[in-house]
Every structure is written in structure tokens, then in C-alpha cells.
Structure 1
């Protein structure tokens, strides 16, 4: 069902204003170029397969930035470069990783070193020790007994069979439900809950420190996941002054569950493993990729429309859906604008962010350097010149609408912009709701109109987000083509408006 007129009275009343903003011939050119001459598969190969995993400040991230800068330049964008946003920390390279159970029988395990973990001292082998430390008194049981030990930690969560598909698309009912979200209940934490959480974190840290002080050789941790998929994570080991810790492997939960069942039933378990890693410390700066299509209007070219996604990934696979997909789409969107010969009035600036996985560092650093300080709300001159920022970072699924981030004033504008796209955006939904966890928040924090699009989930939460399965095969190429056309259209419309997009009020400083 096509929902071409979500707010029919408003559009009819505002038709004289908004109709002028949609250049239908330009949108048709964008569609034709995006669907008939798409380069998304070529870009995907370069970013996912050829560059490889793109952990921030890694060699893979550097390969990806070098490709992006060169490709954007070749397409005719200007000022393409890697731009430092501030200090990130150490890079990290994984050179060897191996683990297998050797007794009571041989079985290789699916496992990945925790990012920024240290190397083992060559190959380590021996009996597996399961720790049971629930309270202070439990430390005494292991004091002096963990030197050179291989410690296993059972996974949390459940690993039973699943009876729902991994890959899904939003239903009409789900999309319509987003338009008028139910009021949220009181989700604030009580002082008692916060105290309990902090106490649990402090105790977990104490256990980790105890393991390190006792001189264990390796930690093998079962992490969330199932069916061979494991969700990777990381300590804060990228910081330049991080103390040395115990080498740690993260493994599919089924592997640790197997060893635990054997051990609990009196069967001794032994493993062998080796991790070889190295740090990159010659340059601690973090970098974004920036490039521009200069504006064509003498008055408006000093103003900017931005689009972007984060280029960094985790290290367990190629980071295809998180978030090569977003970078593929944004690179393709600016390619489309150049290939069609359209000349946006405002400058269009693409940004591929670094350090997102560690806390939106690249986009936050960029916003701080160019637009303003979110802690003091002191703004820079460029703050008045940016119209909007558009982001993709929810996987490979096609666009089904957009989150307004509470900016009600842009709803009739976006409704109008979606109308020529209703043949490719099924049952599209515009919701006043916020969404989090992506780089648009860095802009929204200063009330710069920053938006993340609603995307079909596909396998994002079940199979690919931060996992060892986030490979090229998980990309839906036709969905990427659709996204690129939508983004290029929104960016072009934003660049052509007589005025900047409306903004929310600035947040109050504390």
C-alpha cells in the first residue's frame, strides 16, 4: 500500500510552498542513474573485501580511507582528504589466532581475540579452569593457583534453537505503529538500581584485576550469539596509557558450554591456543574522510548539506552491514549527484567517520571542531551555515522512512520530498521519534537537523551487528541502490531549498 498523502490537508495548504522545492526532473535523473548505473557492488568490494576489517586506527581502516579519498576525487569531488578529529589512541593488528580443545578429544573452536588484547607468550596449553567467584570470600579458593592457567568464562543469555527467521522486513502495521509511538513508561533507574549496577561493575573489575595479578595465561570467554555467530566486544585498550592485561579470546557460546558440561561431569578439559597481535603507536590521531561537491549558487554555496556514515568496524569480519553499508550508500549518493550533472546550490559534504564504535568519536570531534561545543553551547561561525546532516547506520535494509528526532517542523517538508519516491519506498513512515546510537546524534546535540533513516532490519540484530558473520554476503545490493537514490534525493532537495531546514531550540546548558 502506498501512503502518498500522510497529511493531505497540510500538503494541500502548503502546496504552493513545498511543490517548488521538489524538482521532479532532477529526482528522475537520480533514480535513473542510481538504478541503471549503480556502483554499489564495486564500492562494497573495495570497502569490505579488499580493505578488510576496519578497526579504528588499524591498517584496514587506513586502506579504506585511502580508497575512499582516491575514489571520491576520481568522481570529481573536491577537497577529498583524511581530516584529523583529535586523539584516538593505539591502532591494533591481529596477526594470528588459534584455539582448539585437545582433551578429551580434539575440536577446533570458532573464536576471535578481543580487540586490543595482548599476545600470548607463544602457544599456551593446559587444563581449563572455570572460576566461581561470587563474593569476596571466593578469591581465597584460587589464590596462588592461577599462574599460567587458561580460564574459561561461561556465556550469559540463551542459546536454544530459534523458531523465527533471522532476516525480516517491517510490516505495514509495524511501520504505522512508529508514527504514533506509545508513551514510554518511567524507565529511569532508582538509586538502589544504580548502586547495584555500580557494585556489580566494581566487583567484575576486581575479578579481572585478580586474574591479572595471579598471572593467568589466557581467558576464553563465551559471548552472546548462537549457531556459530559470536558478538565481539572490546576493553578500552585503545587508549595510549592502557595497562597490560591478560590475553583474551571470545568464542561462540556453544564452545564454552561444551567445556563446562564436560568439566561439571568430572571430565578434564584441555585446550591449546595462540594469539599474536601488535599495536600501532606512531600516530594516535583519529581520522575522518571528508569530500565536497561545491555549491553552484553564489549566495548559498557557503552553506552546507552533509551526509555520512561511520567507516570503522569491529574486527571479527569485514564490517559489511556495520557500517560499510552506510558508507557505500553515501559514496554512491554523491557519485549519483556528480554523474547526473546536477548542480546543487549549496555545498554537499560527505563524511565517513572514524571511532564511532568507541563512542561516536569521529563525528563528535568533527562537530566540536567545526560547529560548536555541546557542553558549553558555544557555537562557531560554521554553525549558522549547515542545513542538515543525513546518516545511515542500521544495516543493509532499504529505507522505509525517517526519524524526525523531535523536529516536527520538518515533517511536511519530508512528506513532500518522499512523494516522488513512493514508487521505491514502500509504506514509508515519518515518525517524530528519536533513534540513538548513530552519528546523527553528534549533530542533533547542537540542534543541527540530524537524521537517521528507518531501515528494514534484515539480519542486523540477529546475525550481523558486531559479529563474525558481518561479511559481503550479508549485503542486500538492491536495498543499497534504493537507499542511495533516497539519500541523493534528500540531499539534493536540501541543497536547493531557499532556506535552511528548520531547527529545534538549543538544549539548555546545565
Structure 2
């Protein structure tokens, strides 16, 4: 077998540009510090996207656009939040409203009560007792000491284990990574009944304890993006330690009162959403395509630094490096910064459906045959340590060769297994090579992912710089190899049972 070509002169130029003149942290600071939380449909994400478009045009990328991908629903922003205990004494509370929930229509004051409603029979226990009250909706969870440090890197043993072929799922079970789901139809119906009950009872706001501790609060959504869906009450996630303080006072029959002011805005002017795309045109194979991407949107309690300004800044920097280094690219290299990822990988799915194939029918579009490979970064700020192969055995010798210049940066691992939960899976789902890099965890799951601590200070500059260099090198070699990137067999349409069919 002929060895995969490796252009060490190009690697030198990529490293020189990426390590000596990096702009990745400046880009990340603009996305986080200047534009803040970037919920899809919000004014923040539109402003950040316009800035990213202008920046990429300054770097001389072409065909840079905010490309619509379809209907998303209304946007949402939190404009103001204040909460404090006012009895038995004054004490400020740490908390955040859930996305897509209403505000309080000004400052409101009231007593706190506990009302844990887990079944329809619970409604009658609390009927007529909740009007004008702040309602605590969950029991106090246990809070363990943080004996383990929140930040870590993969050990050699962990990487070796990751590289092993995973055990097949037992007969009768589905293997692979499955998207996480909430309760079924019954659970959703009960949640709607409970919200309607709380609204009819006239509660001021619902309170729940945050996952996490030490001031870290993980917050997502509590309402619907659809303007005509049933309303929900105001909902606030409190720091677990502050929630516990309220609970313990109530347990002692000590009256507790709060005051709160929540100002939230729904944005109904435009219910469609967009991706940010731009490219460096190729030369003799310009009609063939290499793509790199990351999701651009975030949740709202932090500024979306590790999830996923990190990935967006890395991919923008990789494009800048390729252009600034003056490297000749045979294939076109295109960047996609996706929105709607946090609500179900919506932007990248819309893009794949529009340009390449519909996963439901597997009707292929002309672009499918001209596509080479897609690279994704969406596992936080951690250094790239390897690649998840998504079961693509033929990719292993290619990546093994491309990783050689980066062994001294700790990139050594190929994992035949796949990983889910991010945008490369939409490419893989229609038979296109799509890959997520293996990254050091750092503080991603322990501290920053979807939390109020997802801010610029949690980004690791050296990691992001080397990630951009690696991505640029992979994109360069993919753009210039003689053949398109090797593929797995085409999958069957999603409506059919079974795995992949033959080409």
C-alpha cells in the first residue's frame, strides 16, 4: 500500500503562522466578551455572526454568508435578573432564569413554599395554597465535597482504553451513541398539566436546585420556542447551596420571603435561523469540498466559551492560517458555523439536507459525490489528542500518517468507536465522512458545559492554538490528497431497519 503523502513544508508554515501570529484567543474574546450568550434566534447571535462574517471577509475568504437553514422558532434573551431573600434576613441569591420562560413583570415579593408535584394526585394537595408564592419544586439533593479536581487531561491509560474496539451491544439492544431524550409523551403531557396548574394557581415563580455546586449552575430551557405553545410560569435555577438554605429554614418552620425581578424578552420578528459559511476556493479540484465546522450557538447563563466559542474560534483560526500561510489548496475548503445545535443539531442537519442528502429518504444530491470530509470541534477547550473514527476503518491509516507531526503535541490516539451529540453526526448519518476530534476533558463536563462558568477565563490558550494548527493541517492534506476521503457504505434511509447498505 502506498504511504499517505505528508507535506512537511506545509506543516512548518502552518505551525509558524498558528503559533507565532495566532488570533484564536482574540476571536474567542469577541465571541464571548463582546457578544455574550448566543442563543439561536437572539440578537446576540445575529450580531456575533455579522462580526464573524466581516472578520472572515477581512481574511479574504470568499462566499461568506449567513445562510438560512429553516424555521427555528422565536428567540429569547434575559435582560435582567435579581433575586434576594428578604426574610428571615437579607441575603442575595445566585440563580438564573431558564431559557424561553417569561419574566415577572417587575419586582415581586412573596413567601416561599415547598410543593413537589410528581403525579396528578399531588395537585389537590396544593390547590389554593400557592397564589403569590415562590414555589420550590424539588427536594434538596445531597451535596458532596469536591475531592476530585474539576480539571484534568487524559492519561495514557485512558487514551489506550479509548483506542480499543468497544464491546458489541448484547443481542436485542441497539449499539452506538443515542441522542439523549426526555420523558415520553406521557411525561410531556404531565409537565404541561403541572405548568398549567401553577399558572392557574398564580405562583410568582418556580424554583429548583442547580446541578453543580460551589457557585456553578447548569441551566438550559424551561419553555417552548413556538409562539402558540401553552405558556409556562417563570422558572429559576438557584445555586444548590442557596436552595438548601431556603429548604432548611422551611423545615424549621421559619417563614422565608424573597423578592425577585426577571425581565426576559421573546424575539418573534424572524422565526428562521441561519448558519455562517465561508470558503477558500480550490484550484484544479475546486468543485470538490472539504469542510470544517463547529456550532456557533450557546446557552445563556455563561458566555458560551468552551461550548462552543472554543470550537468556532479554532475553526475560524484554521481558515485564517490556511489563507495567511499562502498554501495552495486543490479542493475548496469551507467553514460552517452552525446554529440550533443546542436544540438538536438543527443547523448542520438543515445544511446537510439542503446540500448533500435527506437522511430520511437517502436521496442523494450532486454535492454528495463531490464531498470529501468534514472535521468538527465541540468538546470544549481541551487539546486534541486524536480522532474518533466513527467506525471508518479506512480512515485509520490516513489519520495515522497525518498525526505524525503532532505526536509531540500529544496527538497519538485513533478510536474506532464513534462519538455523538454534535454536528459531525449529521454528515455521518448520510454516508459522508464526518469526524469529531478526541479532546482532553479539562473542566468541560465537571464545570463549564451549559453552566454559568462557561466564560472566557476557562479557555486554555495553548490548547486552542494547537487545535487550530492541527485542524488547518488536516484540512490542508484533505484538500490536496489525490482521492476523496475514504467512506463507509451508505446507510439505509432512517425509516428502514438495519444498518448500512452496500454502495
CA contact (8 A) 1:154 1:260 kept: no
1:375 matches 2:369: no
Question: Which residue of 1 is the match for residue 347 of structure 2?
Answer: 362
Question: Which residue of 2 is the match for residue 175 of structure 1?
Answer: 159
The residue correspondences of 1:181-330 to structure 2 (distance < 5 A) are 181-183=165-167, 185-186=169-170, 188=173, 202-297=189-284, 300-330=285-315
Residue 444 of structure 1 and its aligned partner are, at CA, apart by 0.6
1:137 matches 2:124: no
Residue 197 of structure 1 and its aligned partner are, at CA, apart by 6.5
Task: Name the TM-score, length of structure 2 as normaliser.
Answer: 0.93
CA contact (8 A) 2:115 2:138 kept: no
Unaligned runs of 5+ residues in structure 1 are 1-13
Query: CA 1:305–1:158 in structure 2 vs 1: closer, same or farther (change >3 Å)?
Result: farther
Q: Deviations over 1:431-483 (max 9, x none)?
A: 10010111001101001000000000000001100000011100001000010
The residue correspondences of 1:477-496 to structure 2 (distance < 5 A) are 477-496=461-480
Question: Which residue of 1 is the match for residue 484 of structure 2?
Answer: 500
Query: CA 1:26–1:91 in structure 2 vs 1: closer, same or farther (change >3 Å)?
Result: same
Q: Deviations over 1:287-331 (max 9, x none)?
A: 11000000012xx11001000000100010111000000001000
Q: Deviations over 1:24-56 (max 9, x none)?
A: 111111111111111112111111101111011
1:389 matches 2:374: yes
Residue 132 of structure 1 and its aligned partner are, at CA, apart by 3.2
- Greater CA drift, 87-96 or 235-244: 235-244
Once residues 46 and 195 of structure 1 are traced to their aligned partners in structure 2, the CA distance between those partners, rounded to angstroms, is: 34
Residue 205 of structure 1 and its aligned partner are, at CA, apart by 3.9
Match of residue 420, structure 1, among 378, 398, 405: 405
Once residues 46 and 200 of structure 1 are traced to their aligned partners in structure 2, the CA distance between those partners, rounded to angstroms, is: 40
CA contact (8 A) 1:308 1:350 kept: yes
Match of residue 445, structure 2, among 461, 472, 489: 461
Match of residue 83, structure 1, among 62, 67, 70: 67
Match of residue 50, structure 1, among 12, 23, 34: 34
Once residues 324 and 33 of structure 1 are traced to their aligned partners in structure 2, the CA distance between those partners, rounded to angstroms, is: 21
Once residues 335 and 139 of structure 2 are traced to their aligned partners in structure 1, the CA distance between those partners, rounded to angstroms, is: 40
CA contact (8 A) 1:401 1:455 kept: yes
CA contact (8 A) 2:101 2:223 kept: no
Query: CA 1:155–1:383 in structure 2 vs 1: closer, same or farther (change >3 Å)?
Result: farther
Question: Which residue of 1 is the match for residue 49 of structure 2?
Answer: 65
Residue 185 of structure 1 and its aligned partner are, at CA, apart by 5.0
Question: Which residue of 1 is the match for residue 81 of structure 2?
Answer: 97
Q: Give me the CA root mean square deviation.
A: 1.8
Unaligned runs of 5+ residues in structure 2 are 175-180, 497-503
Higher-helix-fraction structure: 1
CA contact (8 A) 1:288 1:352 kept: yes
Residue 223 of structure 1 and its aligned partner are, at CA, apart by 2.1
Once residues 14 and 141 of structure 2 are traced to their aligned partners in structure 1, the CA distance between those partners, rounded to angstroms, is: 46
Once residues 458 and 420 of structure 2 are traced to their aligned partners in structure 1, the CA distance between those partners, rounded to angstroms, is: 23
CA contact (8 A) 1:323 1:395 kept: yes
Once residues 350 and 359 of structure 2 are traced to their aligned partners in structure 1, the CA distance between those partners, rounded to angstroms, is: 11
CA contact (8 A) 1:101 1:270 kept: yes
- Greater CA drift, 315-324 or 236-245: 236-245
Once residues 168 and 251 of structure 2 are traced to their aligned partners in structure 1, the CA distance between those partners, rounded to angstroms, is: 44
Once residues 405 and 65 of structure 1 are traced to their aligned partners in structure 2, the CA distance between those partners, rounded to angstroms, is: 30
Query: CA 1:98–1:196 in structure 2 vs 1: closer, same or farther (change >3 Å)?
Result: closer
| SS of corresponding position for 1:416 | helix
Once residues 349 and 58 of structure 1 are traced to their aligned partners in structure 2, the CA distance between those partners, rounded to angstroms, is: 25
Once residues 196 and 430 of structure 2 are traced to their aligned partners in structure 1, the CA distance between those partners, rounded to angstroms, is: 39
CA contact (8 A) 2:85 2:257 kept: yes
| SS of corresponding position for 1:94 | strand
Once residues 219 and 305 of structure 2 are traced to their aligned partners in structure 1, the CA distance between those partners, rounded to angstroms, is: 15
Question: Which residue of 1 is the match for residue 395 of structure 2?
Answer: 410
| SS of corresponding position for 2:13 | helix
Query: CA 1:156–1:446 in structure 2 vs 1: closer, same or farther (change >3 Å)?
Result: farther
Question: Which residue of 1 is the match for residue 386 of structure 2?
Answer: 401
CA contact (8 A) 1:390 1:451 kept: yes
Query: CA 1:85–1:170 in structure 2 vs 1: closer, same or farther (change >3 Å)?
Result: same
CA contact (8 A) 2:302 2:455 kept: yes
Paired residues in the alignment total 487
